[in-house]
A = this chain, B = another copy of it.
């Protein structure tokens, strides 16, 4: 156990930091610190251009194996990459669902053809992905998926019908991976399949969900006899649950460190405000700022333990607490930001009908952090049942 990086790694840090300094400017300057959670809908076109700019220099998917177009970076170098990216204020990756979820899933479970077809678009920043998991009546309960798919007898194509919800960036995406029920009459975890569906077709409709911020980061996606080629199924029919569960493991990787640098940036802004308006002298605010700082440090150490630990993608204890911890921490940070601002916390930016400042937007959006991707309550169930071995809830009577 040691906490310092090798000199080789430190050299790599110089390299990526230098590249970002040279490149995240000019037309891209405006993208600094934008497009993060709660802000994902902002500057989509510009961020796609930035993604392609990074791709040209070989900085997309740096953790992927070289054979699939990545840089094959070590865990330590990935840590450094994400830290420096966030430190430089690098904008939210438009391609993060492709890079972090769709790609790794295809690499792990996809056919050779699928790898050839889909991975280059992700690496090059030319094809974008969204995920079709949650459904209105299923919520956090993936086993309750109602979206159906069957194969057209003539064309062999998959025909998908149903509704997905909380799909971020759906209107900016070219492809969606969809969990659908392909065995009629199946229930629970059985009979689900993992399909790759093109978004540009008449059978797919995207409706933005207006959030409490007044903006729309999430969408509902309606599939009405949407089609995709027979080959666009990952794994075999009926393996959807297995693949979806593995994918949950991919979500908790080195990118968490990038998220933390984004949080650090928010905390820095709050500290700046506190020093500016004198609330940094308020002992209660001091305690809360110190507490936020501590939480962020702990998040980092938790991540480092996750990354240094079991590499099989199995959920370790420290991984299981991750979502619950950061979501709760972030919601508290939002409240802290407003309390540091004091009376000014209410006042909107000039212009526009409901023009939230960055901190206001962060504050309001954090209320969704403890809900989407598995509510805090679901997370606690998972921890109690899977990590502590406590019994499951009785099902309904």
Confirm or deny: A396 has a beta carbon within 8 angstroms of a beta carbon on chain B: yes
| Residues in A107-135 with C-beta less than 8 Å from chain B | none
Closest to A394 in B: B394
Confirm or deny: A308 has a beta carbon within 8 angstroms of a beta carbon on chain B: no
B-contact 0/1 string along A279-307, CB 8 Å cutoff: 00001100100000000000000000000
Confirm or deny: A2 has a beta carbon within 8 angstroms of a beta carbon on chain B: no
- Across the interface, A394 reaches (CB within 8 A) one of B283, B284, B287, B396, namely B396
Q: How large is the interface on A (under 10, 10 to 19, 20 to 34, 35 or more residues)?
A: under 10
Closest to A391 in B: B397
Closest to A283 in B: B283
Give, as a whole number of angstroms, the nearest-CB distance from A274 to chain B: 16
Task: Determine the distance from Cα of A154 to Cα of B396 in the docked complex, in whole angstroms.
Answer: 51
- Across the interface, A284 reaches (CB within 8 A) one of B283, B395, B396, namely B283
| Residues in A348-397 with C-beta less than 8 Å from chain B | 394-397
Task: Determine the distance from Cα of A283 to Cα of B287 in the docked complex, in whole angstroms.
Answer: 11
Task: Determine the distance from Cα of A397 to Cα of B397 in the docked complex, in whole angstroms.
Answer: 10
Task: Determine the distance from Cα of A395 to Cα of B396 in the docked complex, in whole angstroms.
Answer: 10
Task: Determine the distance from Cα of A396 to Cα of B397 in the docked complex, in whole angstroms.
Answer: 10
Residues of B within 8 A of A397 (CB): 394
Task: Determine the distance from Cα of A101 to Cα of B348 in the docked complex, in whole angstroms.
Answer: 59
| Residues in A227-269 with C-beta less than 8 Å from chain B | none
B-contact 0/1 string along A64-93, CB 8 Å cutoff: 000000000000000000000000000000
Residues of B within 8 A of A395 (CB): 394
| Residues in A198-226 with C-beta less than 8 Å from chain B | none
Residues of B within 8 A of A287 (CB): 284
Task: Determine the distance from Cα of A396 to Cα of B395 in the docked complex, in whole angstroms.
Answer: 10
Task: Determine the distance from Cα of A396 to Cα of B394 in the docked complex, in whole angstroms.
Answer: 7
Task: Determine the distance from Cα of A287 to Cα of B282 in the docked complex, in whole angstroms.
Answer: 12
Residues of B within 8 A of A283 (CB): 283-284
Task: Determine the distance from Cα of A287 to Cα of B397 in the docked complex, in whole angstroms.
Answer: 46
Give, as a whole number of angstroms, the nearest-CB distance from A380 to chain B: 15
8 chain-A/chain-B pairs, Cβ below 8 angstroms: A283-B283, A283-B284, A284-B284, A284-B287, A394-B394, A394-B395, A394-B396, A394-B397
| Interface residues, chain A, with chain B CB atoms under 8 Å away | 283-284, 287, 394-397
Given A283-B283, A284-B284, A284-B287, 5 more contacts at CB 8 Å?
A283-B284, A394-B394, A394-B395, A394-B396, A394-B397
